[in-house]
A = this chain, B = another copy of it.
Amino acid sequence: MFMRTIGIMANAGKDAALHVAKAADEYLRARGVAVLLQHHVAEEIGDAGRGLSDSEVTDADAVLVMGGDGTILATSRECASKGTPMLPIHLGRFGFLTEVSPEDLNPALDALLSGNFTVDERMMLRCESLRGADEEDQASAFALNDVVIANGPLSRVLHLRMSVNGKYVTTYAADGIIIATPTGSTAYSLSAGGPLVHPSMQTILVTPICPHTLTARALLVPEDAEITIVVERDPQDMVRVTVDGQVGFPLLAGDEIKVRRSPYPARLLTVGGADFYDKLQSKLRWGERMVY
């Protein structure tokens, strides 16, 4: 993979992101690389004429993503179907997805240009929502972390009927359900009691949120499983599907949510940084002996 054009996506709300974006733009252009900027980035670094749509930026050979884990989640949905690899530059606190810190920007860009990188493919999910007799596809989205079906703040229990590959498995009486990728195992699923799963794996995790039966436990199914969730009872409370904690839509009773592996993985560039086990140590303190 030879990097002729590199896109820059940055969290609009963060000054630091724009500062780093400007530095990367200059560094790359000085080395003969065509740099594609989002409209808001171009504008903020005083070069509005170069602004492009997100779709144009993600046509680059690779994209630098400047922000936190949330920015990468959002960008991964843009890049997924094109297979554009992403190099995350983390701003603010270190996350499970973020890779390069701003002070390491130049060496990281050098590595990128000289081919000293590897590409981690991360499984994504595709979620479809179907409604009514025709069961036509009414909404769909890609997720790098998770698809969450959950109730609203009145805390009524949901009854979520789950089938795998068309076969009935169980009806969760719970606050909701998290359907996660291995990458998502260190996010919301972990809070709900799910296991840690190495991000190179191909599997789908199903973790109930506050199950009202004591027998529920996180379930891992094979990568080719199609999971169907039907919201069973007419809930008086609002039920929503949320993808990667960012985008979502409300559900009605009887709506059917289908989740399966996306044909498009996210492609993350790594240039010699911390691996998954390092991140367990730094983020979850696994390296310490915090004996009580």
Contact = CB atoms under 8 A, between A and B. Distances in A.
Interface of A: 93, 96, 148, 150-157, 159, 164, 167-171, 173-175, 182, 185-188, 190-198, 200-201, 203, 205, 209-222, 225, 238-240, 242, 245, 248, 250, 275, 277, 280-281, 283-292
B248 A154 contact: yes
B193 A220 contact: no
Nearest to A232: B289
B210 A196 contact: no
A195 B205 CA distance: 9
A195 B220 CA distance: 7
A209 B210 contact: yes
Contacts of A168: 277, 287
Given A148-B155, A154-B242, A198 B221 contact: yes
A104 to B, nearest CB: 21
Contacts of A222: 198, 200-201
Task: Tell which of A193, A209, A214, A280 has the most Cβ of chain B within 10 Å.
Answer: A214
10 contacts: A151-B153, A153-B239, A167-B277, A168-B277, A171-B289, A185-B220, A195-B195, A195-B219, A213-B290, A215-B290
Contacts of A286: 169-170, 215-216
Copies of this chain in its oligomeric complex: 4
B198 A292 contact: no
Max count, chain B CB within 10 A of own CB: residue among A169, A211, A215: A215
B214 A190 contact: yes
Contacts of A225: 198
A196 B213 contact: no
A150 to B, nearest CB: 6
B213 A291 contact: yes
Given A175-B191, A188-B155, A284-B292, A210 B213 contact: no
B287 A170 contact: yes
A221 B280 CA distance: 13
Contact of A214 (B214, B220, B221, B239): B214
B212 A210 contact: no
A26 to B, nearest CB: 34
Contacts of A188: 155, 210
B240 A153 contact: yes
Contacts of A167: 275, 277
B210 A192 contact: yes
A155 to B, nearest CB: 6
Contacts of A210: 188, 191-192, 209-210
